[in-house]
Structure formats: C-alpha cells, structure tokens
Amino acid sequence: MNLNKIFLIVAFLLVFLLGIFFGLNIKNKQDDKTPINPEPSSGSASCEYNGKSYQSGEGFPSADGCNSCSCEDGKVVCTLMACE
C-alpha cells in the first residue's frame, strides 16, 4: 500500500472513533436531564371556555353549536368541522 492509502485509512479510523466517543458522551449527558418531550401532567389543570370552567378530561359543546370541545391539561381542544 502506498502512503496516501495508509493515511486515509488512519484518518477514517480516527474520525470514526472520535464520533463514537463524542456520541456516547452526548448520550450520557442527556440521561441526566429531563426528557425533551415530557409526559403530560396528571390532568389536574382546569380550563376556562365561554365563561365556564371545565376540569381536565371533561367534554363540552363549542360556542358555534356544532363542534365539540374538551379540556386537556389546561388547554381547550375543539373539533373544526364546518357548520351547516
């Protein structure tokens, strides 16, 4: 083998091993932190909609009269169907 091929192989192995080392190092640092997408809370938050208060998980009609809504962890979520 000529010197160029040996240099390329050594450089490739060095980059490969550094990638493995830093990849594992980043993974270990993330294990100590909170998850990126934490699980939803236990559902104790309530919602206010159209002047009324609703508990998490509770369903109710939307203000337009043809869609339905629910309270999910403090956020009101409604369907978006067209009304006739």
What burial class does residue 76 get, using C-beta atoms within 10 Å of its C-beta: 0-12 exposed, 13-18 middle, 19+ buried?
A: middle
The per-residue pLDDT for 32 is 52
Does the pLDDT value for residue 6 go beyond 80?
yes
User: Which of 53 and 83 is assigned the larger pLDDT?
Assistant: 53
The answer to whether the CB of 68 falls within 8 A of the CB of 61 is yes
The answer to whether the CB of 76 falls within 8 A of the CB of 47 is yes
pLDDT tier at 83, thresholds 50, 70, 90: confident
The per-residue pLDDT for 37 is 52
49-55 LR contacts (CB < 8 Å, sep 24+)? 49/76
Give residue-wise pLDDT tens across range 8-64: 888 888 777 777 776 766 555 545 555 555 455 554 689 999 999 999 999 999 999
How many residues are given for the chain? 84
